Structure 1
Amino acid sequence: MAIPTGSVGLNIDPSATGLASARRLAQLADTAELDFVGVQDHVYHPDFLDTWTLITSLAMSTRHVTFMTNVANTALRPPAQLIKAASTLSILSAGRVALGVGAGAAPSAIAAYGGPQYSPAQATDAFEEALQVMKAMNDPAQTSVRSDGKYHSIRGAHPGPFPAEPVPIMVGSYGPRMLRITGRLGDGWLPTNSYAPPARIPELQRAIDEAAVTSGRDPRAVQRIYNVMGTITDGGSPVFEGQNLVGPPGFWVDTLNRYREELGFDSFLFWPVNADSEAQAAVFADKVAPSVRVPHPQGVQR
């Protein structure tokens, strides 16, 4: 497993002007023994570097931390090629890759970049087909993959090479159909507090669990990772700015541990906002992560 249960991670923006900072943040995550780094994938953003190229560069300059797309846009990244890229980077990095995927949340920007401009229903249909293709191409037992979908057609593709363990495929999802797809096919769930606030989480978790059980899966097979946006302060009273957490380290520790116990999340990715990312990351690594991270069994890849 690229991201063990009980992990803590850090967001890194793929901004071209922030490349030096991205490299320092990756090194901080690596040396501070954080478990993973998440990098958003908005290829159509003119200020953003290509996410796959960036995480490949960062993975080659680190030794321990796992890199995860948060999340890769399947409307612009064909699924067979996407899982091939993830498997390749997993081989190159000794298994330090997790693949976060989503249907794409900016249809006009996707269309402007040469992709399809789907309706919400079409985007969900296309994503389900893409996820099925990726799961098949990620299976070492498969020697030839065929899929005659409406949006993704695979005609006898030969998957491989395979890393030592299949790349986990996490899903960013919020709507009812996407949650059901997550429960049936996903290896993990990647919501963000700004889109799925804590008050909504129980109903969303139930939807995933019910879909997993209906399809014959153990709901525990779906890892739950919460993207938590906010700011760690030096002191003062904690507040919620919208859905973002704002407060001192102790408040963050208490809140994330409560989210684990009450909301069913096992891992967390810290996404600093409205403050210096490097300073925030250092405080998170030093004063929050050690009290939130669950020690991993000896021999488990970090």
Structure 2
Amino acid sequence: MAVHPVRFGYKASAEQFDPRELLDLGILAEELGFDSVFISDHLQPWRHDGGHAPAALPWLGALAARTARILIGTSVLTPTFRYHPATVAQAFATLGCLAEGRVILGVGSGESLNEVALGTEWPAGRDRLARLREAIALIRRLWAEDRVTAEGDYFTTRNVTIYDRPQRPVPIYVGASGPVATRFAGRAADGFITTGGKGRELYTGTLLPAVAEGAAAAGRRADELDLMIEVKVSFDPDRERALADTRFWGALALSAEEKTGIEDPLEMQRRADALPLARAASRWIVSDDPDEHATRVGEYLDMGFRHLVFHAPGPDQRAFLHRYADEILPRLRKHLDA
């Protein structure tokens, strides 16, 4: 299997914008030459004040209908609590029919903020990963077989048929930030998703080796997967503005211990707003210089990631998309040729 091409994508910031504005931004990303657009599937945003949480599935249908070239998908959706895997299989089969060859199902084991509000008892990570494994296997069966009857540890079906399916199954990417789930991605997924800004050693010393280990266990190479990373970038001619824009996303800088057990966006917002600005900005590449910015982003390409999806924190996403298309993407493509 060929090595995946390098791609540059846009993270449609569902937390910040209403569905109509977000759709316009996704369309603009295609017009400006980005290769993909991904959206998170959240029931609740990280912030209550000024937050949004449009449903990803209908939004992706609208984006499929309004675009012609870009890859589109979730980064990520949890197919184990709010959704039965069969519901996810049906939805993404339909999306695959609407945009043949352009749809990606990105999945993860979930965040309690999005699931506990509906009465879910939030299990330990090992149980969540076991649910995810079973869900992915069931989704693939539903795409490949007719009248699927399954009696799993977590999910059951009785003579289920997905009647409308694309010619090619939708690729499934697994999002992970630890070695166990990442090895599973390497073994069983079509792509791997992680997020940037956590220190080079995590990627080169833990995650990418875990992908390679999982892939080898399945008799394939890591470069047969689409190795995708969400790169958090705040690029603006005014460096102070670029720094201040990260404040909205301060929750991303909270440690796992600081976020554990928080199921209310108001409390998540309170803890994020208590952080000093320097810490809120710590997950982001903050820059006003295009050469310096492209060099820092290019480090992820040097690590081996092939699909960089850019998440910008500022309120003026149109300006960001134009600025990035004009000043950063050409530099990154030149970096690849160096």
Return the TM-score normalized by structure 2: 0.76
In structure 2, give the amino acid aligned to 1:290. Answer: P
2:124 matched to 1:119? yes
Matches within 5 A, 1:103-142: 103-106=109-112, 109-139=114-144, 142=145
Number of the residue aligned with 2:194: 191
In the other structure, the counterpart of 2:63 is 58
Q: Partner residue of 2:286? A: 246
Secondary structure at the residue paired with 1:67?
strand
How far did 1:64 drift? Answer: 1.9
For the Cα contact (< 8 Å) 2:73–2:105, is it kept in 1? yes
1:212 has 2:215 as partner: yes
How many residue pairs were aligned?
287
Cα deviation digits, residues 118-143 of structure 1 (max 9, x gap):
2222111111111111232333xx34
Q: Is the 8 A contact 2:173 2:191 kept in 1?
A: yes
Equivalent residue number for residue 266 of structure 1: 306
Partner Cα separation in structure 2 for residue 206 and residue 87 of structure 1: 32
Identify the residue that residue 179 of structure 2 maps to in structure 1.
Answer: 176
Equivalent residue, structure 2, for 1:148: 151
Whether contact under 8 Å (1:80, 1:133) holds in the other structure is: yes
User: How far apart in 1 are the matches of 2:194 and 2:220?
Assistant: 20
Identify the structure with the greater helix proportion: 2
Describe the shift of the 1:24–1:269 C-alpha distance in structure 2 as closer, same or farther (beyond 3 A): same
SS state of the match for residue 71, structure 1?
Answer: coil
Residue 226 of structure 1: which of 202, 213, 229 is its match? 229
Residue 305 of structure 2 aligns to which amino acid in structure 1? F
Unaligned runs of 5+ in 1: 295-302
User: 1:102–1:127: 8 Å Cα contact kept in structure 2?
Assistant: yes
Q: CA deviation at 1:109?
A: 4.2
Using the TM superposition, give the Cα deviation of residue 114 of structure 1 relative to its aligned residue in structure 2, in angstroms: 4.1
State which structure, 1 or 2, has the greater radius of gyration over its C-alpha atoms: 2
Checking the alignment, whether the CA contact within 8 Å between 2:42 and 2:114 is kept in structure 1 is no
Deviation of 1:190 after TM superposition, in Å, equals 0.9
Q: Distance in 1 between matches of 2:187 and 2:131?
A: 16
Give the aligned residue type for 2:295.
D
**C-alpha separation in 1, matches of 2:44 and 2:164:** 29
Quick check: 238-247 or 118-127, which moved more?
Answer: 238-247
CA separation of 1:24 and 1:123: change in aligned 2, threshold 3 A = same
List gaps (5 residues or longer) in structure 2. 244-277
Q: TM-score, normalised by structure 1?
A: 0.85
Pairing partner for 1:86 from 78, 92, 108? 92
Residue identity matched to 2:233 = G
Residue number in structure 1 paired with 2:252: none
Give 1:169 shift.
0.7
Q: Which residue of 2 aligns with 1:158?
A: 161
Which of 295, 318, 324 is the equivalent residue of 1:278?
A: 318
Q: Distance in 2 between matches of 1:53 and 1:191?
A: 24
Query: Are the equivalent residues in 2 in contact too, given 1:8–1:293 (CA < 8 A)?
Result: no
What is the alpha-carbon distance in structure 1 between the residues aligned to residue 119 and residue 88 of structure 2?
A: 17
* 1:297 corresponds to: none
Q: Is the 8 A contact 1:73 1:103 kept in 2?
A: yes
User: Compared with structure 1, are the counterparts of its residues 205 and 138 closer, same or farther at alpha carbon in structure 2 (3 Å cutoff)?
Assistant: farther
Greater CA drift, 169-178 or 15-24: 15-24
The residue type equivalent to 1:133 in the other structure is L
Helix, strand or coil: the match of 2:195? coil
**1:298 paired residue number:** none
The alignment status of 1:77 with 2:83, answered yes or no, reads yes
User: How far apart in 2 are the matches of 1:185 and 1:111?
Assistant: 28
Q: Summarize deviations over 1:249-301 as a string: whole Å, max 9, x none.
A: 2223223333212x11001000001452221122112222234359xxxxxxx
Contact 1:16 1:49 in 2 (8 A): no
How many angstroms apart in 2 are the aligned matches of 1:236 and 1:35? 27
Q: Aligned-pair RMSD on alpha carbons? A: 2.7
Alpha-carbon deviation of 1:199?
A: 2.5
2:170 is matched with 167
Deviates more, 1:48-57 or 1:113-122: 113-122
Identical counterparts, % of pairs: 24
For residue 173 of structure 1, report the CA deviation from its aligned partner: 0.6
Cα distance change, pair 197–151 in 1 and its aligned pair in 2 (3 A): farther
Residues 160-197 of structure 1: CA distance to partner in whole angstroms, max 9, x if unpaired?
53213221111111123211211111111110114x43
